[in-house]
Amino acid sequence: MMKDALEEAIRKYIDPTQDEMDKILQYFVVKDIPKGKYFSKSGQINNELAFIIKGCFRGYWEHEHDEISGGFAFENEFFCDISSFISQKPSVFGIQAIEDTTILYITHKEMDKLFLEVPIFERFIRKFWENVIGALVNSVNSFRTETAEQRYARAMQHPKLLQRVPLKYLSSFLGITPTSLSRLRKRK
């Protein structure tokens, strides 16, 4: 049942045979990560690509004794530090469960094996990375061109962010202080 959601997510990008899909799904392993614990830490190699079954991840950077939230992922979304995962070099990004989280994951090494066994999976990963890169470019553009109010208005279009992400993380993600976020919330 857990793997049904993963299969649906993969089929949004590619259309493998059922035999190919069964092989793909066999490579993914279940892991539970309690609230507050880490999927990966800054300075370590992010060696796993996660698909979230239940819960929420927060990606963040450490800067001068502060944590800057860079993104969140919820159910039926993939998440990793793309730079560290692809390069297999230490990450500058930490990934923390902000709720009790259950994931299906595949390691970098297993993914390489899967590319050889089921070549269509490589197309899935390419299409997936293309979407991730597009989202990253949009995020950078948002910080360069939008006001805090505009970024907050966009965040309001994603109820999970507002309902499940603590204000300190959400304000950091939006590039504003918690006090400024409280003011924006009162105006809306």
Which CATH number covers residue 106?
2.60.120.10
The pTM of the full predicted model, rounded to 2 decimals, is 0.89
75 and 130: one domain? Answer: yes
140 and 153: one domain? Answer: no
141 and 153: one domain? Answer: no
13 and 47: one domain? Answer: yes
101 and 178: one domain? Answer: no
First-to-final CA distance of the chain = 39
Torsional class of 66: left (φ above 0), alpha (ψ -120 to 50), beta (otherwise) = beta
Q: Is 41 exposed, middle or buried (0-12, 13-18, 19+ CB in 10 A)?
A: middle
137 and 172: one domain? Answer: no
118 and 66: one domain? Answer: yes
153 and 125: one domain? Answer: no
CA 19 to chain CA centroid, Å, is 28
Please tell me the predicted confidence (pLDDT) of residue 187. 76
135 and 153: one domain? Answer: no
Q: Is 80 exposed, middle or buried (0-12, 13-18, 19+ CB in 10 A)?
A: buried
> How many domains, the chain?
2
Beta bridge partners of 80: none
CB-based contact 70:61 (threshold 8 Å): yes
Task: Name which of 186, 171, 181, 184 is nearest 69 in CA terms.
Answer: 171
Cα–Cα distance measured from residue 155 to residue 63, given in angstroms and rounded to the nearest whole number = 23
158 and 83: one domain? Answer: no
3-state secondary structure at position 117 = helix
178 and 132: one domain? Answer: no
Neighbouring CB atoms inside 10 A of 128's CB total: 18
**Could you list the residue range(s) of the whole structural domain that residue 79 is in?**
2-145
99 and 166: one domain? Answer: no
Q: What is the pLDDT along the chain (188 residues), one digit of tens a residue?
A: 789 999 999 999 999 999 999 999 999 999 999 999 999 999 999 999 999 999 999 999 988 888 899 889 999 999 999 899 999 999 999 999 999 999 999 999 999 999 999 999 999 999 999 998 888 888 787 778 888 788 888 888 888 988 999 989 998 888 888 888 888 777 76
Q: Is 9 exposed, middle or buried (0-12, 13-18, 19+ CB in 10 A)?
A: middle
Neighbouring CB atoms inside 10 A of 164's CB total: 14
